[in-house]
Amino acid sequence: MFDWIGLSLALAAGLLLGAMFFGGLWWTVRRAVSSGRPALLFSGSLLLRLGFALAGFYLVGAHHWQRLLLCLLGFVAARLVVIWLAGPAGSTPKGPIQGASHAP
């Protein structure tokens, strides 16, 4: 019998990990436009987001491939939601995140 509560929590954790990862990427890209040191911002953001996501997958998976698979499914679903919220390039975002200033 499957552990439905554990699997549901794994899916929710994947959604949260994906929202943090791709939302952080979106925030980084918008802030890097006006940053004086965008390479440092991108590098630091990548290390932080990747470390957080990998640690989350490791903890959620816990030697259960079903949980790991559902966590990955939630991660990908969060990616689609963030892409939908960001909208096409050049448009205003649909979400509550405020825009960054433009580069000089």
The pTM (predicted TM-score) of the whole model is 0.76
User: What pLDDT was estimated at residue 92?
Assistant: 60
User: What pLDDT was estimated at residue 95?
Assistant: 56
- Please indicate, yes or no, if residue 55 is contained in any of the structural domains: yes
CA 39 to chain centre: 20
Q: Which residue has the higher pLDDT, 28 or 90?
A: 28
- Please indicate, yes or no, if residue 79 is contained in any of the structural domains: yes
- Please indicate, yes or no, if residue 29 is contained in any of the structural domains: yes
Location of structure tokens 């990747």: 50
- Please indicate, yes or no, if residue 98 is contained in any of the structural domains: no
Can you tell me the distance from the alpha carbon of 27 to that of 100, in angstroms, rounded to the nearest whole number?
9
- Please indicate, yes or no, if residue 53 is contained in any of the structural domains: yes
Can you tell me the distance from the alpha carbon of 50 to that of 33, in angstroms, rounded to the nearest whole number?
21
Q: Residues 6 or more apart from 95 whose CB is under 8 A from it?
A: 85, 86
Residue 93 has pLDDT above 80, yes or no: no
- Please indicate, yes or no, if residue 82 is contained in any of the structural domains: yes
Residue 103 has pLDDT above 60, yes or no: no
**Band (71; pLDDT cuts 50, 70, 90):** very high
- Please indicate, yes or no, if residue 2 is contained in any of the structural domains: no
Q: Which domain holds residue 48?
A: 11-86
Per-residue pLDDT tens over the stretch 18-62: 999 999 998 999 898 888 898 999 999 999 999 999 999 999 988
CB of 33 closer than 8 Å to CB of 100: yes
CB of 70 closer than 8 Å to CB of 14: yes
Total number of domains in the chain: 1
